[in-house]
Amino acid sequence: MARQLQVPFTTKLPHPVYFRTASLPAAATYPRHRHPWGEFVYAFSGVMELKLAGSHYLAPPQYGIWLPPDVEHRGMNRFAASHCSLYLAQAWCRGMPKTTCALAVSPLVKSLLEHLRAHELAQPRTSAERRLFRVLIDQLTRAPTHGSYLPMSDDSLLEPVLTALEQHPEDERSLAEWARVLHTTERTLERRCQQHLGLSFSEWRQRLRVVKALARLEQGHSVEAIALDLGYSSASAFIAMFRRMTGTTPDKVRGHGFVAS
């Protein structure tokens, strides 16, 4: 059963630039809401999800999600997660993207966020802290943007397929086989993928497996175990896919983190 959490701020921020962290149990949700300030959401562990009208954003720990001011949204996480939010008053949002998107988190941004969390710096009070927050915001304005690394959809045909694969990423059924299950055609499903996800079915499934692999790598699972869990017959086949999708290898991600290109 989902646990609904209280939205921390609804009418006014404690400071024009404010940093907040929280540890969430599995199946926690924030109710649908909006606010007149921007918000950057990042998961230190686990995968955070944000649902907007007609869109579902999902980001592993190598991405954060940017919400411009006045965007109605609902936050959720299927499994336990530790996350943070950087709230920015409208005057601080000028260099940030104008639309909701996923932002690639560089090692520097991750280190800055970790520093704020470790030192419990909710808002800048000294000149040194103000400089630190300015560097973080400047880095976020320069971060590579993605519509959503792994977009989701509420489409009546796609949702059951995406949900089933999210729960069982090792499922190897082809799009034609899914079409037969749903009493539709392969062409219809592929068209819905392009229309609602902006990706082919094959690329979406590979991205899903990257997201699942990143979470497992963070938890310390071996590459061989991850490959088998995700339906690959060998570790080499999984590594080849991972390298093709991310430009790096699972072992390098484990050692140094992942930077999106």
How do residues 142-172 score in pLDDT, each as one tens digit?
Answer: 999 877 678 888 899 999 999 999 899 999 9
Angle between helices 201-218 and 158-167 (to 10 degrees): 30
Residue 30 has pLDDT above 60, yes or no: yes
Q: What is the CATH number of the domain that holds 224?
A: 1.10.10.60
Q: Are residues 173 and 201 in the same domain?
A: yes
Q: Are residues 134 and 170 in the same domain?
A: no
Q: Tell me: the pLDDT tens digits for 61-108?
A: 678 999 999 998 888 776 777 889 999 999 999 999 999 888 989 999
Residue 153 in any domain: the answer is: no
Taking the C-alpha atoms of residue 237 and residue 228, their distance in angstroms, rounded to an integer, is: 10
Taking the C-alpha atoms of residue 215 and residue 228, their distance in angstroms, rounded to an integer, is: 15
In the prediction, which pLDDT does 61 show? 67
Q: What is the CATH number of the domain that holds 130?
A: 2.60.120.280
Counting runs of H as helices and runs of E as strands, what totals does the chain give? 9, 11
Domain boundary among 87, 119, 146: 146
Domain boundary among 79, 112, 146: 146
Q: Are residues 8 and 133 in the same domain?
A: yes
Q: Are residues 10 and 53 in the same domain?
A: yes
Total number of domains constituting the chain: 2
* Six-digit token string for 211: 């997201």
Q: Tell me: the pLDDT tens digits for 201-213?
A: 999 999 899 888 8
Decide which of 33 and 140 is more confident.
140
Q: Are residues 103 and 10 in the same domain?
A: yes
The whole domain housing 18 covers 3-146
What residues contact 57, with CB distance under 8 A and at least 6 apart? 49, 50, 51, 65, 100, 102, 148, 151, 152
Measured CA to CA in angstroms, residue 90 lies from 67, 69, 132, 195 at distances of 12, 7, 19, 32
In the prediction, which pLDDT does 259 show? 40
Q: Rounded to 5 degrees, what are φ and ψ at 125?
A: -120, -25
0.85 surpassed by pTM:
no
Taking the C-alpha atoms of residue 219 and residue 69, their distance in angstroms, rounded to an integer, is: 34
Residue 151 in any domain: the answer is: no
Identify whether the C-beta of residue 94 lies closer than 8 Å to the C-beta of residue 128: no
